[in-house]
Amino acid sequence: MDITKILAEMTLEEKAGLCSGGDFWHTKGVPRLGIPPMMMSDGPHGLRKQEEAGDHMGVNDSIEAVCFPAGCATAASFDCDLVEQMGRILGQECQAEDIGVLLGPAVNIKRSPLCGRNFEYYSEDPLVAGEMAASFIRGVQSQQVGTSLKHFYANNQEHRRMSTSAQMDARTAREIYLPAFEKAVQEAKPWTVMCAYNKINGVYAAENRTALTDILRSEWGFDGYVVSDWGAVNDRVPDLEAGMDLEMPSSFGMRDAEIVEAVRSGRLSEEALDTAVRRILTIVDRYMAGRQPDTVFDRDADHESARDIAAQCMVLLKNEAQILPLDRTVPVAFIGAFAEKPRFQGGGSSHIHAHKVESALEMAQAAGYPVRYAKGYETQDDVVREAMIQEAVEAAKAAEVAVVFAGLPDTFESEGYDRTHMRMPACQNALIEAVAAANPRTVVVLHGGAPMEMPWIDRVQGLLMAYLGGQAVGGATVQILYGDVNPSGHLAETFPRRLEDNPSYLSFPGEGDVSAYREGIYVGYRYYQKKKIPVLFPFGHGLSYTTFSMDKLRTDKSAYQAGECVTVTVDVTNIGDRAGKEVVQLYVLPQTQSDQVQRPVSELRAFTKIALAPGETKTATFSLPARAFSYYSQQKGRFVVASGSYTLACGDSCEHLMAETSVEMAGETMQPEQVTLDTTFGDLLAIPGARELVTPYLSLMADDSEADAMGESTAGMMEAMIRYMPLRNLLAFTGGKVTAEQCQVLLESIRALCG
Ligand code: BGC
């Protein structure tokens, strides 16, 4: 397509028209110029292609498709290749169904366990979310199908999502809420980005020039189109000027007319409109060029893949007395309605019309395992039914092992609203307590997209987090329970003991339409570690049926200049007797304290997943760029590597580090941005070269009568106090020995050192 030529031939009305949908899912076509409509479809973990009535809440019907594990689960795989492979399959399905852009991945940070849409999101950690998103995009787009990285940005709650304002400082945005988008945009180049519904610091995401133009395009180099989340447009003309190109769904011509009027009256430049149209046409052109209409959507084959993927995502959280894997010959009681009818996906726009669903019960029975079933609870309400519990208790007593399938029912977590507490249904908790009392050899399998409180945790021996594993979750669960697949998932989020421990507890979901992100950068493990708050299961945790060790962590050098990459290697060994996969997590722990900036205890800066045969050792190699050591300086408006020492540590969770070493970084000295007469001596002394200039004056202060009166033993105290005195105190506390002019001269000479 010769886009420049087409643009020149388009009428103003046609150009304005291209900036909103033709219907619920398609862009508009311009037949006379050979521009076809292009379909977008949810996403992300399957196709929700609606052929009839469209809606964005998953209410109306969509075609039969394959439901893969949701983002909460795939992130737990910590396996970028796996997520890319899933993306490839989805891309092929899109080709078969003539979908130009799949609406995902969704990378918003799991700030609170309560967000109704946590199941779609990847992690509380921006690196994990970014890596997963980039892999997913690479996979889908390798099939010449576009993606829509969403929801840009700070859409971390469903409560008032269309009117609330996420209030946060620049450091919080840059270190926590933006990096997943940044990584995905820079490394995987999504065709499109979807702007969020909410406001960011008072400005709607759809109208947020800082986000859509300055950061996304100018800084990160995004070159596709920005599409509104469905219905996110507030004021069309300013939105367009801010960088929001395509409004979805259709505005039935109303907003097109607004754009035409704005250009005619000079309120909007035609150039700005052309820019948006060019971006949309570029993607439509890519879609046309990449069409592979002969592709077949093989639902049964994809179902098999969905099972393989789901098995790689499950997280074994507890396995006392090696209760798992189960012996195939012993009688086992499968208890709980989810054993028969698994909860495998969440509600809302990502809801897939699954072409078939397999349960753990049917898969275990099909394999010939001696399994007896008791339902235990109903899912449509939260009523403790004694008779059902009694039946479950009998089944548990008669069995060698009881496996209770539990978790969050559909109504507990969905797009559109948040959870109001972190508990599981009371009827399930009562069931688990009763079953565990009847048979201590009890395992719990949990379905759900986010952490739950587990009052019974000390009374069960095994716990498997199956997340929302897609339509083949039943088979995958059986594979893990019976040891056909060795579990290898790890938590991409912390499981706190109780909701009140979560850092956002006091400010989530906000007051009226203000959601203040008061915890700042201390999200998830960054907070629990800093506050030393015991958690149920730490970020990164996940067990295996074998055991791994990590040692000989080493770097290519011990001291680095800022900007140099640090190459880190660590040996990982399978010291057990089963083949398995380990997630090697590399954390950076800043050691040099400073008054100028607070740092988390540790931050995940790289990870990889390694398959190891029993006894085998492999070396994992990581390359840490400067960014891995940096923090975002609000004053400087950029990331800064602070000089000092850093510990590098590898482990299988943020709390279980097995090998470490230290490096020195020659970065920037953390010093005050501005040196004035109000700057303290402590801060001045941190400036290289300033000590020589300042010391003679300090001794004048120390000579002062006050110091004399304090006596020699308190000289240390005196020095400590001087640290917090501003430079101007030379006038007050040197007994008149220093004049205002001398003070000024000293100030200027220190400023000269700062450059
Ligand atoms: C959701 C998006 C989705 C869109 C289209 C919105 O309500 O937030 O994630 O892609 O609807 O269904």
Q: What is the pLDDT of residues 32-63, one digit of tens each?
A: 999 999 999 998 999 999 987 888 777 778 99
In the predicted model, is pLDDT for residue 706 greater than 70?
no
**348 CA closest ligand 1 atom index:** 7
**161 CA closest ligand 1 atom index:** 8
Q: pLDDT for 592-631, tens place per residue?
A: 888 889 999 999 999 999 999 999 999 999 999 999 999 9
pLDDT band of residue 711 (cuts 50, 70, 90) is low
**58 CA closest ligand 1 atom index:** 12
Which residue minimizes the CA distance to atom 7 of ligand 1?
56
Count of all residues that appear for the chain in the document: 755
For residue 259, what are its two tokens?
């754009």
pLDDT at 274: 98
pLDDT band of residue 486 (cuts 50, 70, 90) is very high
Residue whose pair of structure tokens reads 């970020």 in the numeric block: 539
Which residue minimizes the CA distance to atom 12 of ligand 1?
56
* Annotation marks residue 229 as catalytic: yes
CA of 412 to the centre of ligand 1 (A): 19
List pocket residues of ligand 1, CB cut-off 6 Å. 42-43, 56, 103, 150, 229-230, 349
Which has the higher per-residue pLDDT, 445 or 686?
A: 445
Task: Please tell me the distance from the alpha carbon of residue 487 to that of residue 468, in angstroms, as a whole number.
Answer: 16
CA of 509 to the centre of ligand 1 (A): 20
CA of 137 to the centre of ligand 1 (A): 17
**By percentage, how much of the chain surpasses pLDDT 90?**
90
Nearest Cα to 278, choosing from 623, 632, 4, 647?
Answer: 4
In the predicted model, is pLDDT for residue 27 greater than 90?
yes
CA of 230 to the centre of ligand 1 (A): 6
pLDDT band of residue 722 (cuts 50, 70, 90) is confident
Task: Please tell me the distance from the alpha carbon of residue 451 to that of residue 630, in angstroms, as a whole number.
Answer: 30
**103 CA closest ligand 1 atom index:** 10
Which residue minimizes the CA distance to atom 5 of ligand 1?
56
Q: Which of 49, 102, 192, 229 to mutate to test the pocket of ligand 1 (most atoms within 8 A of CB)?
A: 229
In the predicted model, is pLDDT for residue 670 greater than 90?
no
**106 CA closest ligand 1 atom index:** 9
Q: pLDDT for 171-223, tens place per residue?
A: 999 999 999 999 999 999 999 999 999 999 999 999 999 999 999 999 999 99
CA of 222 to the centre of ligand 1 (A): 21
Q: pLDDT for 537-567, tens place per residue?
A: 999 999 999 999 999 999 999 999 988 999 9
221: left (phi over 0), alpha (psi -120 to 50) or beta: left
The sign of the torsion formed by the CA atoms of 570, 576, 581, 586 equals: negative
Which residue minimizes the CA distance to atom 9 of ligand 1?
349
Which residue minimizes the CA distance to atom 8 of ligand 1?
229
Say which of 42, 79, 125, 229 is annotated catalytic: 229
**155 CA closest ligand 1 atom index:** 8
pTM comes to 0.95
pLDDT at 562: 82
Mean pLDDT of 654-673: 91
Q: pLDDT for 402-458, tens place per residue?
A: 999 999 999 999 999 999 999 999 999 999 999 999 999 999 999 999 999 999 999
Which residue minimizes the CA distance to atom 3 of ligand 1?
349
In the predicted model, is pLDDT for residue 708 greater than 80?
no
CA of 350 to the centre of ligand 1 (A): 8
Mean pLDDT of 580-590: 98
CA of 276 to the centre of ligand 1 (A): 21
**416 CA closest ligand 1 atom index:** 7
Under 8 Å between Cβ of 505 and 154: no
Give the number of C-alpha atoms closer than 13 A to the C-alpha of residue 465, restricted to the C-beta side. 34
| Arithmetic mean of pLDDT over the chain | 95
Beta pairing, strands 617-624 & 203-204 = unpaired
Q: Which of 158, 247, 349, 414 to mutate to test the pocket of ligand 1 (most atoms within 8 A of CB)?
A: 349
Position 736: which residue type? Answer: G
Mean pLDDT of 637-642: 94
User: Residue 657 pairs with which residues in a beta bridge?
Assistant: 651
Task: Please tell me the distance from the alpha carbon of residue 335 to that of residue 402, in angstroms, as a whole number.
Answer: 7
pLDDT band of residue 714 (cuts 50, 70, 90) is low
CA of 231 to the centre of ligand 1 (A): 9
**55 CA closest ligand 1 atom index:** 12
Neighbouring residues of 135: CB distance < 8 A, sequence distance ≥ 6: 80, 81, 83, 84, 87, 188
Task: Please tell me the distance from the alpha carbon of residue 533 to that of residue 447, in angstroms, as a whole number.
Answer: 25
Q: Which of 41, 103, 247, 418 to mutate to test the pocket of ligand 1 (most atoms within 8 A of CB)?
A: 103
CA of 538 to the centre of ligand 1 (A): 31
CA of 56 to the centre of ligand 1 (A): 5
pLDDT band of residue 669 (cuts 50, 70, 90) is confident
Under 8 Å between Cβ of 389 and 430: yes
Mean pLDDT of 388-392: 98
CA of 348 to the centre of ligand 1 (A): 8
Mean pLDDT of 312-331: 98
Under 8 Å between Cβ of 642 and 649: no
Nearest Cα to 71, choosing from 39, 99, 103, 93?
Answer: 103
